[in-house]
Structure 1
Amino acid sequence: MLPVVFLCFSLYVHTVCELRTDADYWKQLAQEELKEALQLKWNLGIAKNVILFIGDGMGPNTITATRIMKGGESHKLVYEKFPHVGLLKTYSANKMVPDSASTATAILCGVKTNHRNIGVDASVKSGDCSASLDPKARLESLAALAIKAGKSAGFVTTMRVTHGTPGPIYAHSASRSWECEDAMPNGTEHCKDIARQLVEDWPGKDLQVVLGGGRQVLVSNSTGTATDPISKWSCYRKDGKNLIDEYKKDKESRGLKYNVVYNNKELKELNIDETDCLLGIFSNAHLQYEFERDKSPSGMPSIGEMTETAIKVLKKNPKGYFLMVEGGNIDMGHHRGRAKTAISEAAALEDAVRLAVEMTDQHDTLIVVTSDHTHSLSINGYPERGSNIFGTLGPSSFDHINYTTLSYGSGGPGSFQYNASSGSIVRDNPSDKNSDDYMYEQIAAVPLEENYHGGGDVAVYARGPFAHLFHSIHEQNYVFHAIVHAAQLIPNGTGSLVNMNVMLFATSLILIFYTFIYS
C-alpha cells in the first residue's frame, strides 16, 4: 500500500502531516486497493482459535475519529485492513436503542433478548427472577460451547468482570444490575447474583482466563484507596463471601494450576507454564482510563497487556481456545460526553487487536472486531484535512461562535453549554476552553444525566477461517452463529459446516452422475 503522506507524526493528540493530493496519488492508491481485492481468497479451514473483540460503544464515527487521531483521514486501523467487513443491526428484542447486556447476549449467545437481561431469551421479562431459572430460557455462550468442544475459554475486560458485556459468557440473569447480592431486591433470594455464577457455576468456574475489575462485587466489605476507591456506580458485596478465596479453593480441590494476580507486577511476572487458570482483578470497579492508568508495578495493566497474557495462557491447549476482549471504557468515556477519552480507549483497543494479530496465525485463528452499539457522536462542519479532530472551527454563520468538530446528540449536565447574556441565551464558545483535553465534555443537543446510546448499525471486521461469513448486513446475533460454524463448535449438530459441506459435496456428485447419464 502506498504511504498516505510524505511525513506524518501522531501523538494520540492530533496528526501533523504533509498531505498528498495530486491525481497520480489517488489513482495509484486505488490501484493498490484494487490489487488487494483481486488477490483475496476465502479461507475455508476450521477456526481452531477464535478471538472476539468488542469495542463497547464503538460506533462507526468513533472508529473514524480514532483513525484520524492515530494517522489522519487516509490512515487504516489494523482491523480496517482485515479482508472482510459487514454491518450489524443492534436493536434488542424490545428496544430500538439497546443496552450492552442485551447486545452482548445477542453476540455471545446467538439470541436477541430484552433490555438489561443477561444470558436468557426474551421470554424472561426484566427483573423476573423465576423466569430466568427456566432451563429453556437459559442460553449457552460461545465460551460454553468452546469448553464442551475441549477448547479453553476466557475473557478480558476493562470493566468489572460481572458487567453487562462479559456477563452473558457465563451468567443467566433477569437484570444486569444483579452483580452482587446487595443489588438484588426482596423476592429474588432463589436467584444467584452474577458474581457467584462466575465463581460457583458452570461455565464460569471452568473459564481459564478472567481478567478485569470488580473486586467490590467479589469480596465482601472491600476497602478502597485514593487511587482505587469504592465505586458508587456499582453494587457492593456485604454477605460475608469472599469469591476470590472460593475461586482458589475450587481450583485447589480439582488439582488445577492457578494464579490470582492483582497488579502489573504480578501479571508481568506470571509463570505461564505453571498457570492453567488465571484470575486477575485489578480494581474495585472498572479499570482506569488509559490516559490516567498507573503504569507502575502496583498499577493496572492495559487492555493490550491483558490480551497478550490471556493468549499465552489459552494457546497452551492443543485443541484451541475462545477469547472475548472488551474495550469497555470506550463506552464509559462516551457516557461522560468526553470524546477524547472515549477515542483514546478505542485506540488502546486497536493496540490489543494488533498484538493478537502478531501473536496468531490467520490460517487457524479467526479474529472478529465489532461493537455492541453506537453512541450519538457526530463529526461536524467542514474541518480541513490534517486538522485536530478534537479542535474547533467556525464561527457558525448563525450565532457567530466557534464549534467543536465532535459533538453528541445527548449528554450530561456538562454538555449544556449555554448561558444568559443581555437577556438572551448564548452558546458558550468552546475556543475559550481546551477542547483537546481528555476531560473536556463536548456540547450535546439534549441534556440528560449522561450521554445515551445510539441505535445505529455497527461495523464487524474479520480475518481468518470463514471470515467471509462476515459480510453484508446482518442481525447482531448472527455473529454467534457464524463463529459456531467457523470453529465447528457443534461438529455433528444440525446445520454444522461439516454436514453442510458433506451435503453440498454429495449433491455435486449426484448432479455430475445425472449429467453423465443423460448427456
Structure 2
Amino acid sequence: MWCVKTCAVLFYLTSVFNSVLNLNEDRSYWLDVGKNDINRALNLEKIENPSKNVILFVGDGMGLTTTTASRIYSKSESGFLSFEQFPHIATIKTYNADKLVPDSSSTATALFSGVKNNLKTSGVDSSVKLNDCEASLRPEARIDGLMKWAQEAGKSTGFVTTTRVTHATPSALYAHTPNRNWECESKIPEKSKQCKDIARQLVEDEPGRNINVVMGGGRQCLQSGVEDKPGDLVDRWACYSLDGRDLIRDWEMDKKKRNKTYATVLNSEELKAVDTSNEFVLGIFANGHMSMDYARDKSPTGMPSLTNMTQKAIEILSQNPEGYILVVEGGLIDFAHHRGNARKALDETVSLSDAVQIAVEKTDPRETLIIVTSDHSHSLVFTGYPSRNKSVLDIAQKSKIDHIPYTSLLYGTGGPNNYQYSVINNTISRQDPSINNTSDFEYSQQAVVLTDEVTHGGSDVLIYAKGPMSHLFHSVHEQTYVAYVISYAAKIGPFKNGSSSFIYSNLFLLSVLLFIIKSC
C-alpha cells in the first residue's frame, strides 16, 4: 500500500514539475490531451429529469480574467478549478436596464428573478429608479424570484455569503428596495422612511422570514449598538443601525411563535455542532463582512470558511424530501478587486472553488443541478509576456518604451494605491513594481486611470453547470436566463407543473386564432 501511495505522490510531483518547466509537451502530449477531451465530450450525458435540488454559486466580480489567474495561482496553467470541468459552459451578458456596466444588486436581481432592473436597485423592475421609494412600494414593481418560487413549491431555501447577509447580492433574494445601501434604517433619508430597510425585510417579510438557512456577516445591520471586538471590526462605511433594534432576537421570536425548530450560531464551533434537523438556522459571524479566508481566525471561536458554511447548509436543507434551493456567494472576490489587491481576489476565488467541490461531493449528480457563475466582471487585466515558470503575481517583463517593469496583472481603473505615477523633472514616471513584493496580499497592482476604487468591468461572464438540465446552458445568454433555467429544471415559479408546454400550446392556439381572423 505504501508503494502505491509513494508512486502516486511521485507521479503528482512529476506532473507538477513538468507543467512548471514545460517539459515533455511534444506533439504526442497534445494529441493525448485532444483525445481525452474528445472522449469526454462524446460521453457527455444529458440528465433530463427534474432537478430536486439546485445550488447556485455566485463569485461576485469573478470575471474570466479572475478565474484564469486564480487557476494559475492555485493549480498551474494546465490545472483546473473545481468547476472548470463541469460539462456545460455558456456566456452570460451582464448589462442592466440603465447601464452597460452593472452593479451587484441589479445583476443579482437578474440572476435570481429573471428581470433586468436599474443600477443599485434590488428586487424591483426597471420602472423603479435609484432612490425612488414611492415607486418601489407599488406591488406591480416588485419582483418575486427563486426563494419565493421554491417556498411555494414546498422546497427548503437558503443562502450563505461572505458579505453581510443584507448586502447587494443576497438582498435580491428577498428584498425590494430602490437603493441597495438601505441595509438598515440609518441610511434611509427622512423623506423615504416609509420604505422598509433590507434587514427588516429579511426578518419580517416574505420570503425572507421563511428562508431556512441564512449565513454570513452583518450583525451591525441586524442589531443596534454593535461594537468593535478583536478580529471583528464594525464597518464604519457601511450601514450601522441606531434605532435600538435586535432583529436576531426578533428572528428567534418569530420561529418560536410559529413552533419551528431553530438555532442561531455565532462562530465555527457552534456551526459545527448545530443540529441539522433544525428547520431554521441563522448564522451571523461578523459585524460587517466576514474576514477573507487567508486572514480568517481558524480557531473554534473564529469565523467559518465558505466551505464550512456551504457543507452545513446542504446538510440542513437536505432534510426536506421535496428538495431545496441554495445560493452561495463568494462576495469578497469583489471586495478585494475594488481595493486593487489582486492576490486577495485570487485567493477568495480559490475558496469559492473549494466550496463548489464540497457541494459536488455532498450531492447526488442525478438530482442536484449545480451552477457556478458571476454577477459581473472587473477591470483586471492579464497582460504579456510572462514565462510559464513565473508566478501569475510576478513581473511580466520590462516596457520597451519606458524600460520600467510591469506585473502580469494590472487594473484598468484603481484607487490612489493603484495609481503609481509621479512627476520627476517635469516628466511623468511610473513606479517600478520590482521594488515591492508583488506577491504580498497587500500589494496593489498598478492601474491606468485614477478613480476612488477599482470599478466593475462590463464584459460577459461564464456560467458552468452540471446535473439535471445543465445542458440548457449552451450559448450566449441574457443573465435573466439563469433564473428561468432553474425554474424549468426544478419545476418552480414560471415553469412549475409544465408551464412551458402550456405556454407553447397557447402560442399555437393563438396563431391558429389569428389565421382564422385574417381568413375572415
Q: TM-score, normalised on structure 1? A: 0.93
Match of 1:351 in 2: 354
Q: Deviations over 1:406-438 (max 9, x none)?
A: 000001100111223344222111110000001
Instruction: Name the CA shift for 1:499/1:324 in 2 (closer, same or farther; >3 Å).
Output: same
Q: Which letter maps to 2:14?
A: F
* Separation (CA, whole Å) in 2 of partners of 1:483 and 1:19: 44
Match of 1:462 in 2: 465
Match of 1:516 in 2: none
1:422-501 map, 5 Å? 422-490=425-493, 496-497=499-500, 499=502
- Contact map agreement 2:146 2:493 (CA 8 A) in 1: no
- Contact map agreement 1:4 1:19 (CA 8 A) in 2: no
* Residue 376 in structure 1 maps to residue 384 in structure 2: no
Among 396, 399, 402, the residue aligned to 1:399: 402
| Post-superposition offset of 1:485 | 0.5
Match of 2:54 in 1: 50
Between 17-26 and 107-116, report the one with greater CA deviation. 17-26
* Separation (CA, whole Å) in 1 of partners of 2:14 and 2:37: 19
Q: Which letter maps to 1:44?
A: E
Q: Which letter maps to 1:202?
A: E
Match of 2:66 in 1: 62
| Post-superposition offset of 1:496 | 2.6
* Residue 21 in structure 1 maps to residue 25 in structure 2: yes
| Post-superposition offset of 1:17 | 5.5
Match of 2:102 in 1: 98
- Contact map agreement 1:376 1:452 (CA 8 A) in 2: yes
Match of 1:409 in 2: 412
Count residues with an aligned counterpart: 497
* Separation (CA, whole Å) in 1 of partners of 2:224 and 2:374: 33
Among 281, 292, 297, the residue aligned to 2:295: 292
Q: Deviations over 1:120-151 (max 9, x none)?
A: 00011111111111111111110110010000
* Separation (CA, whole Å) in 2 of partners of 1:253 and 1:110: 34
* Separation (CA, whole Å) in 2 of partners of 1:263 and 1:37: 43
What secondary structure sits across from 2:158 in the alignment? strand
Q: Deviations over 1:278-330 (max 9, x none)?
A: 00000000001111111011111110100000000001000000000000000
* Residue 320 in structure 1 maps to residue 323 in structure 2: yes
Match of 1:508 in 2: none
Instruction: Name the CA shift for 1:294/1:493 in 2 (closer, same or farther; >3 Å).
Output: closer
Match of 2:14 in 1: 6
Match of 1:160 in 2: 164
* Separation (CA, whole Å) in 2 of partners of 1:500 and 1:46: 18
Instruction: Name the CA shift for 1:334/1:20 in 2 (closer, same or farther; >3 Å).
Output: farther
Match of 1:249 in 2: 253
Match of 1:181 in 2: 185
- Contact map agreement 1:4 1:74 (CA 8 A) in 2: no
* Separation (CA, whole Å) in 1 of partners of 2:494 and 2:459: 34
Among 356, 363, 366, the residue aligned to 1:360: 363
| Post-superposition offset of 1:364 | 0.6
- Contact map agreement 1:47 1:365 (CA 8 A) in 2: yes
Match of 1:507 in 2: none
* Separation (CA, whole Å) in 2 of partners of 1:137 and 1:491: 17
| Post-superposition offset of 1:498 | 5.9
What secondary structure sits across from 1:58 in the alignment? coil
Overall identity of the aligned pairs, in % = 49
Match of 2:284 in 1: 281
- Contact map agreement 1:492 1:499 (CA 8 A) in 2: no
* Residue 75 in structure 1 maps to residue 79 in structure 2: yes
What secondary structure sits across from 1:165 in the alignment? helix
Q: Deviations over 1:204-241 (max 9, x none)?
A: 00000000000000001111113211111211111111
Q: Deviations over 1:247-267 (max 9, x none)?
A: 000011011110000111111
| Post-superposition offset of 1:9 | 7.6
Match of 1:151 in 2: 155
What secondary structure sits across from 2:390 in the alignment? coil
* Residue 227 in structure 1 maps to residue 231 in structure 2: yes
Match of 2:517 in 1: none
What secondary structure sits across from 2:398 in the alignment? coil
Between 256-265 and 493-502, report the one with greater CA deviation. 493-502
- Structure 2 unaligned residues grouped into runs of 5+: 1-10, 508-520
Q: Which letter maps to 2:104?
A: S
Q: Which letter maps to 2:268?
A: N
- Contact map agreement 1:4 1:75 (CA 8 A) in 2: no
Q: What is the Cα-based RMSD across aligned positions, in Å?
A: 1.9
* Separation (CA, whole Å) in 2 of partners of 1:297 and 1:171: 33
- Contact map agreement 2:394 2:439 (CA 8 A) in 1: yes
- Contact map agreement 1:486 1:497 (CA 8 A) in 2: no
Between 416-425 and 357-366, report the one with greater CA deviation. 416-425
- Contact map agreement 1:6 1:20 (CA 8 A) in 2: no
Instruction: Name the CA shift for 1:192/1:491 in 2 (closer, same or farther; >3 Å).
Output: closer
Instruction: Name the CA shift for 1:399/1:492 in 2 (closer, same or farther; >3 Å).
Output: closer
* Separation (CA, whole Å) in 1 of partners of 2:173 and 2:465: 20
- Contact map agreement 1:404 1:442 (CA 8 A) in 2: yes
* Separation (CA, whole Å) in 2 of partners of 1:364 and 1:503: 30
| Post-superposition offset of 1:4 | 9.5
- Structure 1 unaligned residues grouped into runs of 5+: 505-519
- Contact map agreement 1:215 1:283 (CA 8 A) in 2: yes
What secondary structure sits across from 2:49 in the alignment? coil
| Post-superposition offset of 1:502 | 9.2
Match of 2:3 in 1: none
| Post-superposition offset of 1:191 | 1.2
* Residue 259 in structure 1 maps to residue 242 in structure 2: no
* Residue 208 in structure 1 maps to residue 203 in structure 2: no
* Separation (CA, whole Å) in 1 of partners of 2:21 and 2:323: 43
Q: Which letter maps to 1:247?
A: W
What secondary structure sits across from 2:83 in the alignment? helix
- Contact map agreement 2:22 2:388 (CA 8 A) in 1: no
Q: Which letter maps to 1:465?
A: P
| Post-superposition offset of 1:5 | 8.1
